[in-house]
């Protein structure tokens, strides 16, 4: 028994691989291209572990993907691999179309060919779990009900549009070809190993470096926040017991404005890592021009997965954010490696002309 994970050297994927092998002896074949956000340091604790087989490759490379299916005979695919940063999608949408749409198409076709050749019992047991985002649903008003699994898709960025397209492909491959798929749409994840272009690690790193904390617009955009460990637990439940063809929304029941997030991190850093040599953390907040098409609010209604599978997040935002800040403080060497090179150039480009 083996599962094939795509994007397993990225933030959520690596956390899932580590979580899976901490609680199961079932081997993992980990397919990752190791682009800027994929990092083998995330998996350093698995060095020499025969349960973890790493394969560097592109999900758009059909021959390579076919070879993994033929060699390892996985019982399931968990598809994390994606370009996932809205700002990057605005500056360069082509990579998002290629990876998120063409890559998912290639993976679906390879999985379908493999699944079609399985014995009847193995065909019944096979699963293709596609990990997606709440951003496909668009933006909510302040008083709108949270996103449910039946909310119409209205993506507003190149990133969310590419993920919406991939969701539709997954659904179509089930309804047209019978491929046994599952889809999850999650809210904003946070936790260890997150690439520091994202809000929470960006704020942590900037505070520790005494650098400005760039806040888009008025800072009142609302997101639901999900601790990555809770997300991994939810995916395990969906993979094990989810109904074939169904979508499950995974959320943390934690709606917070961006400004609330920044304040919480600043207060924790002043408590856990006080440094009289740097400015007071909250004094570093700097408002910058809002990004184009910035969705105002996301919120997830996660009652379906709770009612059907019994999953509910274990962490509150207060417990999860404390664990996250503590993780980054304890892993400054990892952070230092990430903060060099391509990421540094990206940050300079992203904010060079912001007021």
Residue 308 CA to residue 306 CA, distance in Å, equals 6
Q: How would you class 338 by CB atoms within 10 Å of its CB: exposed for 0-12, middle for 13-18, buried for 19 or more? A: buried
Q: Output phi, psi for 281, to 5 deg.
A: -55, -45
Residue 82 CA to residue 10 CA, distance in Å, equals 9
Residue 281 CA to residue 269 CA, distance in Å, equals 8
Q: Which of 147, 140, 187 is nearest to 303 (CA)?
A: 147
Residue 10 CA to residue 33 CA, distance in Å, equals 10
Q: Which of 69, 70, 74, 93 is nearest to 83 (CA)?
A: 93
**Residues noted as catalytic:** 134-135, 159
Residue 163 CA to residue 247 CA, distance in Å, equals 14
Q: Which of 237, 230, 193 is nearest to 319 (CA)?
A: 230
Q: Output phi, psi for 164, to 5 deg.
A: -60, -45
H-helix segments, the chain: 11-23, 62-72, 86-91, 93-96, 104-116, 120-125, 158-177, 199-208, 228-241, 258-272, 303-309, 317-330, 332-338, 342-351
Residue 119 CA to residue 143 CA, distance in Å, equals 51
Q: Structure tokens of 19?
A: 């979580």
Q: Which of 61, 71, 72, 60 is nearest to 3 (CA)?
A: 72
Q: Which of 97, 124, 110 is nearest to 6 (CA)?
A: 110
């Amino acid at each position: 028994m083996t599962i094939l994970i795509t994007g397993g050297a990225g933030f959520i994927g690596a956390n899932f691989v580590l979580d899976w092998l901490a609680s199961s002896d079932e081997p993992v074949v980990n397919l990752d291209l190791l682009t800027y956000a994929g990092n083998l340091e995330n998996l350093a604790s698995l060095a020499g572990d025969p349960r973890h087989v790493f394969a560097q490759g592109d999900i758009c490379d059909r021959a390579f993907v076919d070879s993994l299916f033929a060699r390892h005979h996985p019982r399931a695919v968990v598809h994390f691999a994606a370009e996932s940063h809205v700002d990057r999608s605005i500056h360069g949408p082509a990579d998002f179309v290629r990876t998120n749409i063409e890559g998912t198409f290639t993976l679906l076709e390879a999985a379908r060919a493999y699944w079609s050749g399985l014995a009847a019992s193995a065909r019944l047991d096979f699963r293709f779990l596609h990990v997606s985002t709440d951003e496909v649903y668009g933006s909510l008003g302040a008083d709108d009900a949270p996103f449910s699994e039946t909310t119409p898709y209205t993506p507003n960025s190149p990133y969310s549009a590419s993920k919406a397209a991939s969701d539709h492909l997954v659904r179509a491959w089930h309804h047209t070809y019978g491929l046994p798929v599952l889809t999850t749409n999650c809210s904003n994840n946070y936790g260890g190993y997150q690439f520091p272009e994202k809000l929470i690690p960006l704020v942590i790193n900037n505070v520790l470096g005494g650098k400005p904390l760039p806040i888009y617009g008025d800072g009142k955009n609302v997101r639901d926040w999900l601790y990555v460990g809770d997300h991994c637990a939810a995916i395990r439940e969906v993979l094990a017991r989810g109904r074939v063809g169904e979508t499950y929304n995974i959320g943390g029941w934690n709606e917070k404005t961006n400004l609330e997030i920044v304040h919480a991190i600043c207060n924790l850093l002043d408590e856990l890592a006080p440094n009289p040599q740097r400015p007071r953390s909250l004094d570093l907040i700097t408002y910058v021009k809002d990004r184009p098409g910035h969705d105002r609010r996301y919120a997830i209604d996660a009652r379906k997965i709770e009612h059907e599978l019994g999953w509910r997040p274990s962490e509150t935002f207060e417990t999860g954010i404390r664990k996250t800040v503590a993780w980054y403080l304890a892993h400054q060497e990892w952070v230092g490696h990430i903060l060099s090179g391509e990421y540094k150039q990206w940050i300079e480009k992203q904010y060079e002309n912001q007021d």
